[in-house]
Amino acid sequence: MALPHGHNNRTFLQDSIVIKEYEGTDAPARLKRETIALRSLQGILPVPHIVHCDAVRNVLRITRLPGVNGEWLLGRGFAAQVLDICGNLLRRLRSISPQVMIQGLPGDGPVIVHGDFGPQSLGCAR
């Protein structure tokens, strides 16, 4: 089943596994960044586990986390709760030592960044 909200990737749900097919000329770099971030954040933040990474086909298979897409919830009257969750997660991200994430990631400086951090990129647990 195709999942909505996969803006830069084709995203599908197969049983309890999310399949992300990265598209575009920067697909290999985005796949690499995401796998590094997921591995680095295991046990620190609620992130999915990597089931399989196919760097040749730019496909990532990850476990599905419980929750509802934050963007979907915004449109249904839950803005205050969703934005509270976003703020709490951002606070947790900022408290993580940059050395946890920096190894293997491109760029300069000790900064953990998501290009479009917000409800559209987060799942909110009930």
Tens-place pLDDT, residues 68-87: 878 888 888 988 988 888 88
Q: Please say whether the beta carbons of 80 and 119 come within 8 A.
A: no
pLDDT (average), residues 84-98 = 83
From first CA to last CA, the distance across the chain in angstroms is: 22
Q: What CATH number did the domain enclosing 47 receive?
A: 3.30.200.20
Alpha helices in the chain (DSSP H): 27-41, 70-74, 79-95, 98-102
For residues 73 and 49, state if they share a domain.
Answer: no
- Burial track 87-122 (b if 16+ CB lie within 10 A, e otherwise): eebeeebeeeeeeebeeeeeeeeeebeeeeeebeeb
For residues 103 and 120, state if they share a domain.
Answer: yes
pLDDT (average), residues 50-58 = 97
Domain count, the chain: 2
For residues 74 and 57, state if they share a domain.
Answer: no
Tokens of 70: 């934050």
Range of the domain at 97: 66-126
pLDDT (average), residues 87-107 = 75
For residues 46 and 13, state if they share a domain.
Answer: yes
How much is the pTM?
0.77
Q: Is the pLDDT of residue 88 over 80?
A: yes
